[in-house]
Amino acid sequence: MNAACSEPGRDCPLCPRLAGYRETLRLQHPDWHNAPVSDFGDGNACLAIVGLAPGVAGANRTGRPFTGDHAGAMLYAMLEKLGRSHGQYAAHADDRLTLDGVFITNAVRCVPPHNKPDVSEIHGCRPFLINTLKSLANLRAVLALGAIAHQSSVKALGGKLPKMPFSHGAVHRLHTGVTLIDSYHCSRLNTNTGRLTEAMFEAVLATALEIAYSPPLR
Ligand code: SF4
């Protein structure tokens, strides 16, 4: 499969290490998704949320971004609280949940061992992130969850990293008119250590929605 395509194929070979891990997981868990995880959400969204990569027993198992693990429970609960979802999140891809004005994707579409993609894998998957962001005709804001999502989003949006360091709550205006907002990732590690609280996450998500849906400046 060619990275110029808008979606990677199920057996995308561009990252050999991740393809090998995928094969191992297919043998261990034949009933899991174990393939690149596609985007999810409202194609007319003004806000895209960019995560790191599928969690091994989360999106890699269920086939939908952030679905089936701790990070997803926090993210989808917050989207519901802020009135951006319809239906009941039930931690699987067939729960008929829909999002309103929000689109969710990942910087890397295949699960990496220990949640750690290497630089070549982040780079290799970026064309798919670029295509995803380009496909959102109404895009006005991107909420990046974590430093890797931030870095890949800056590059995907044509920004310059040295001028836009990652910092929780930071707001970066890109020359394209899209605004990038940073948040710590809503991972179990970050929430268990108190690095990211529910209140912090709600505040940063609310800010991102406000920026995405505020009237354009004249
Ligand atoms: S991470 Fe992206 S580029 Fe790499 S194998 Fe998976 S889909 Fe392909």
18 Cα to the center of ligand 1, angstroms: 7
Reported in sequence order, the residue ranges of the chain that DSSP labels E, i.e. its strands, are 40-41, 47-51, 85-86, 98-99, 102-106, 141-145, 171-173, 179-183
129 in contact with ligand 1, CB cutoff 6 A: no
**Tens digit of pLDDT for each residue in 86-126?**
999 999 999 999 999 999 999 999 999 999 999 999 999 99
Average pLDDT estimate for 169-179: 95
**Tens digit of pLDDT for each residue in 52-99?**
999 999 999 999 999 999 999 999 999 999 999 999 999 999 999 999
Residue minimizing CA distance to atom 6 of ligand 1 = 110
User: Could you give the C-alpha distances from 118 to 16, 20, 64, 136, 213, in angstroms and in order?
Assistant: 11, 14, 22, 27, 34
115 Cα to the center of ligand 1, angstroms: 14
Distance of CA 212 to the CA centre of its chain: 16
pLDDT at 190 over 80: yes
Residue minimizing CA distance to atom 2 of ligand 1 = 125
124 in contact with ligand 1, CB cutoff 6 A: yes
Q: Predicted confidence band at 17 (pLDDT cuts at 50, 70, 90)?
A: very high
Q: What percent of the chain has pLDDT over 70?
A: 96
109 in contact with ligand 1, CB cutoff 6 A: yes
At residue 215, the pLDDT reads 77
Average pLDDT over the chain reads 95
Q: Which two tokens stand for residue 145?
A: 């969850």
> Minimum mean pLDDT among 39-43, 159-163, 180-184: which range?
159-163
At residue 3, the pLDDT reads 40
Q: What percent of the chain has pLDDT over 90?
A: 93
Residue minimizing CA distance to atom 3 of ligand 1 = 125
